[in-house]
Structure 1
Amino acid sequence: DLEGNQIKYLTNSTFLSCDSLTVLFLPRNQIDFVPEKTFSSLKNLEELDLSSNMIMELPSHLFKDLKRLQKLNLSSNPLLYLHKNQFESLKQLQSLDLKRIEIPNINTRMFQPMRNLSHIYFKNFQYCSYASHVRICMPLTDGISSFEDLLANNILRIFVWVIAFITCFGNLLVIGMRSFIKAENTTHAMSIKILCCADCLMGVYLFFVGFFDIKYRGQYQKYALLWMESLQCRLIGFLAMLSTEVSVLLLTYLTLEKFLVIVFPFSNIRPGKRQTLVILIGIWMVGFLIAVIPFWNEDYFGNFYGKNGVCFPLYYDQTEDIGSKRYSLGIFLGVNLLAFLIIVFSYITMFCSIQKTTLQTAEVRNHIGREVAVANRFFFIVFSDAICWIPVFVTKILSLFQVEIPDTITSWIVIFFLPVNSALNPILYTLTTSFFKDKLKQLLHKHRRKSTFKIKKKSLSTSIVWTDDSSSLKRGVLKKISLGDSIMKQVS
């Protein structure tokens, strides 16, 4: 045991006369390099611990002669690279510790030769998918998936279906209502329906996540790598990204539209129906491009959407391709953060403009009154967006500075915070508005009147039939009485 002895270097002859050695502990030293033949004489070595040193690179055939090695600990070293054949000679290895080590070039070939390996310890749960034949892999979860299930948390499993149903049902209901009930501002109604379509895609994404969670239940780790690299995973990740980006861009446009109307009430800057249609098509095209660009160059972006079981590129680690990191940061801390700041600035300016205005005429009040009501409603939509997006921005900023983020936080952001905004939007911008409340009351009142009229009409028809039948009965009785009298007279 040579732990903590401030050993700085090893040579090829350091253990030359230690051929009977079975256990070698060298943790917490200052070793920064290990020559290729350092352990060549240790034929009987069964346990080797090189943890907590300063080793940045290991020679490819360093462990070539350690045929009997059963436990190897390389944790807490600043290793930059592991060779594909690094462990191919370790046929008897049972435990491998690689905790707190980033492995940028990790692949399944590294661990396949170790068929007796029963325990492996990684820094990231995602690495476990590259050693699916190992019985016990740590950590057990990344906060989203576990060794057995795509969604590790029972609460997340329930939430994914509930939010998916609420999101799809709510947005489809709003699209139907907006199509059936004629609005005063048709261009605004069109924008809301397009926003509902974008939010509905998030519900579709969640339904797919729930479906594949059921499909891989109890055996996820066996298929984890295949799933994350599959076309299905990439496509549902594409849907989620398209939904979030179109939603963010649409809310920014709607906010700027209200900003121009309220801050400059008499200007003619407000877009018409044709201009609005062009803007909406442009927003969808930009959202589509943002979501599809990672498919174009896999060498640069890597598997952009397949970084976790839910196929959403929210956070990254050091193994991620440089292009993927830059693009992810550019979208979340560039486009989305800029949109969020524009929305916040616009609403602050709008409310300051309303409070500071000195115009008192009824004409101006009537002109901006309706727009203020709409702005108040959109404020709550933006506020819900802020609640959803602030955790995303904080997570991205922390990951940029390589701060360790608890796995459970990222899982709740992906499954709950982002999608719940799409589920709440229909309530905020349609179902709670005074216009739609009034229209709904009118429809219900009209339906009630029709029902009452039908009941009265049916009752009246029944009365007429009964009266006619009664009259006929009376005439029949009178005829019978008259006939009886005539017979009696004849008899008498």
Structure 2
Amino acid sequence: MVCVAVADSRACHKVAVVEPDVGDVSRAVEIREGVQMAGTCDGPSDWVHRGCRCSKNNSFFCENTGLRALPSTIPQNVTNLDISGNHFSKLQKSDFPLMPQLTILVLSSSEVISLGEDVFGNLPMLKNVYLQGNRIQHIAADTFVSSKNLRNLHLSHNPIGSVAAEAFRGLTALETLWLDGNNIETLRPRAFSPLSRLQVLNLAYNKLSDLTGAFTALGSLRTLDLEGNRLDVIPDDTFWPLTSIESLNLRNNVFRTSSSALFAPLHNITHIYFSDFSLCSSALHVRVCEPRGDGISSLAHLLDSVVLRVAVWVVALVACLGNLLVLVGRLVLREPNAVHSFYIKNLALADLIMGVYLFVIASHDVAFRGEYIRHDYRWRRSVGCSVSGFLSTVSSEASVFTLTVITVDRFASIVYPLSLKRRTFRFAWICMLCVWLVTLLLAAVPMMRPDYYGEEFYGSNGVCLPLHIHDPDSKGE
């Protein structure tokens, strides 16, 4: 039995074959012609390939069916074709029969290694191609030269390492291009110049370190994703051709500084994304810049939390007044235990320094209120920030070391009470001199060795504390 078309009917009818020895190939051809003339298909389509199925809107699904070549029995009037999860290696133009109505082709996760020249030349109406999750390593010149109606091209998560200069020639209607999750290290100048209508370009998680001339002629581009690359220096003119850009993602790259000239010509940009919120200082005209803070500071305030602001002022006031009273009282009044009193004076001095540091931070928070991001770059690289960080380090280290000396002294007094005379005032002076020398040296070394510790050891955050929790791989760590 075979399926033939009836002129006055919208369905195929099975009729007996006069010659019973007709081969499988002839039978498949007749079936295919019957489906094309009838214009309907719904259900299993084993006559195309075992496991395939079709739907009423001329869509064929042959995913994960073990295909190694495209079946010749697929009707020419198919509009959507899903052959993902199969075993194609090299795709050539000749592998695709003429399918003039095909608009969507899904070839994801199909072990495709290479794409031949003009690979989709027999699919003139093709608009969407999905090739993600394959093993494509190179995009050669003129691969898509006849695909003038292609709108969306997905090449994500392939080991693509290089793209030829004329790889995208012919894609004059392309609007979205996904190349994320590949191994692309360099982009040839004007590599995307044929894509005059491109609006979305995803290059996230590649190995790009140089973007010189890559975005020439992309005046229609609106969204550019460069997250997770190796960009350490971005020349000021890199994004200037992107006159229509609205969203730019630069998260998880190496660079830690940028110039305002880099983004100044981008008048239409509304969203920009960095890993470090301090980089927003170079894009002040952008409406939305993320991240909006680092947990302590925000785009508007040095101390973002109201509770934190109040706490800093209270602790600073208590630390300064309380420790000043201790110092004055211990200096004016005579103590029976001069050694212990001397240790307490040193502890009070160390804590007083912390109070001074807190007053410096609190006063700058008031000065920068409402527009901190405009001052962030200069503040964190200023002498004032370095001195503030130095004072906080000296205070915390001297306080800990002094408490250690006091603890040892109290332990000796209790365990060896009869050897009290050995603990002379001169010995206490020597101990505290060593404490202060070691503390000052430890706090000053990062400022004396910027080549090793980096120029922002104390300026890694707005409060000038050497807490490198946001960038654990920075210098000196």
State the Cα distance separating 1:285 from its structure 2 match: 1.9
- Measured at CA, do residues 6 and 233 of structure 1 come closer, stay the same or move farther in structure 2, by a change above 3 Å? closer
- 1:30 aligned to 2:30? no
Residue 304 (structure 1) aligns with: 457
Distance in 1, matches of 2:473 and 2:278, equals 11
Give yes or no for contact 1:48–1:69 (8 Å, CA) kept in 2: yes
Matches within 5 A, 1:471-490: none
Deviation for aligned residue 1:58: 4.0
Deviates more, 1:264-273 or 1:288-297: 264-273
Contact persistence 1:23–1:48 (CA under 8 A): yes
In structure 1, the residue matched to 2:115 is none
- Report the Cα distance in structure 2 between the residues aligned to 1:133 and 1:225, rounded to whole angstroms: 16
Please give the secondary structure, in 1, of the residue aligned with 2:356. Answer: helix
Alignment partner, residue 258 of structure 1: 410
Contact kept? 1:87, 1:110, Cα under 8 Å:
no
Decide which moves more: 64-73 or 146-155. Answer: 64-73
Show CA shifts across 1:284-330 (max 9, x none).
1221222222222333331211111111111244486423x2xxxxx
Residue number in structure 2 paired with 1:139 = 291
Q: State the partner residue of 1:446.
A: none
Partner of 1:45: 198
Q: Which structure 2 residue ranges, 5 or more long, are not aligned?
A: 1-151
| Residue aligning to 1:193 | 345
Q: Is the alpha carbon distance of 1:5 and 1:175 closer, same or farther for their aligned partners in structure 2, counting shifts above 3 Å?
A: closer
2:433 aligns with 281
Amino acid at match of 1:119: H
Paired residues of 1:84 and 1:109 also in contact (CA < 8 A)? no
Distance 1:50 1:110 in 2: 23
Whole-Å separation in 1 of the counterparts to 2:474 and 2:270: 30
Q: 1:120 aligns with which of 256, 272, 290?
A: 272
The answer on 1:7 being equivalent to 2:191 is no
**Equivalent-residue separation in structure 2 for 1:256 and 1:78 (angstroms):** 53
Alpha-carbon contact 1:164-1:207 (below 8 Å) kept? yes
Q: Confirm whether residue 216 of structure 1 aligns to residue 388 of structure 2.
A: no
Higher fraction of helix = 1
SS in 1 for 2:248: strand
Report the Cα distance in structure 2 between the residues aligned to 1:174 and 1:305, rounded to whole angstroms. Answer: 30
Matches of 1:41 and 1:106 in 2, distance apart? Answer: 32
| 8 Å Cα contact 2:155-2:178 kept in structure 1 | no
Q: Which amino acid aligns with 2:351?
A: D
Higher relative contact order (CA 8 A, sep 6+): 1
Query: SS at 2:446's partner residue?
Result: helix
Which consecutive residues of structure 1, in runs of 5 or more, have no partner in the other structure? 326-492
* Residues 297 and 87 (structure 1), Cα distance of their counterparts in 2 relative to 1, 3 Å cut: farther
Q: Give the alignment partner of residue 218 of structure 2, picking from 57, 61, 66.
A: 66
Q: Report Cα offsets for 1:328-352 as digits up to 9, x if no partner.
A: xxxxxxxxxxxxxxxxxxxxxxxxx
Percent identity for Structure 1 against Structure 2: 34
1:157: how far off?
0.8
3-state SS of paired residue (1:63): coil
- RMSD, matched Cα: 2.5
C-alpha distance 282-133 of structure 1, shift in aligned 2 (>3 A): farther
Change (3 A) 1:91 1:229: farther
Number of matched pairs? 320
1:75-121 deviation per Cα after TM superposition (whole angstroms, max 9, x unaligned): 2x24253433443433442321123x132453226734444233211
Q: Which residue of 2 aligns with 1:228?
A: 380
Alpha-carbon distance in 1 for matches of 2:260, 2:472: 17
Q: Is the 8 A contact 1:47 1:72 kept in 2?
A: yes
Task: Give the TM-score normalised by the residue count of structure 1.
Answer: 0.60
Q: Which residue of 2 aligns with 1:476?
A: none
Question: Cα deviation per residue 1:368-424 (whole Å; 9 max; x = unaligned)?
Answer: xxxxxxxxxxxxxxxxxxxxxxxxxxxxxxxxxxxxxxxxxxxxxxxxxxxxxxxxx
Per-residue deviation, 1:2: 4.0
- Normalised to the residue count of structure 2, the TM-score between the two structures is 0.61
CA distance in 2, matches of 1:91, 1:299: 39
Conservation of the 8 A alpha-carbon contact between 1:83 and 1:110: no
Structure 1 residues 221 and 276 mapped into 2: Cα distance closer, same or farther (>3 Å)? same
The separation in 1 between residues aligned to 2:460 and 2:153, in whole angstroms, is 39
- Say which SS state the counterpart of residue 467 (structure 2) adopts: coil
Deviation, 1:267, is 4.1
| Structure 1: distance between partners of 2:229 and 2:416 | 59
2:344 partner amino acid: I
Partner residue, 1:242: 394
Distance 1:320 1:104 in 2: 13
Alignment correspondent of 1:313: 466
Distance 1:261 1:123 in 2: 54
Instruction: State whether residues 74 and 98 of structure 1, in contact with CA within 8 Å, keep that contact through their aligned partners in structure 2.
Output: yes
2:56 aligned partner: none
8 Å contact 1:105–1:319 — kept in the other structure?
no
* Distance apart, 1:269 and its partner CA: 8.1
Q: CA deviation at 1:149?
A: 0.8
What's the counterpart of residue 258 of structure 2? 107
Structure 1 partner of 2:232? 81
CA offset at residue 240 of structure 1? 0.9
Which aligned pairs between 1:61-460 and structure 2 lie closer than 5 A?
61-75=213-227, 77-79=228-230, 81-85=232-236, 86-99=238-251, 101-108=252-259, 111-116=262-267, 117-267=269-419, 270-300=422-452, 301-318=454-471, 321-323=474-476, 325=477
Map of 1:396 onto structure 2: none
Give secondary structure in 2 for the equivalent of 1:72.
strand
Structure 2 Cα separation of the partners of residues 200 and 251 of structure 1: 15
Q: Which has the higher strand share?
A: 2
Any conservation in 1 of the 2:323–2:351 contact (CA below 8 Å)? yes
Structure 1 letter corresponding to 2:331? S
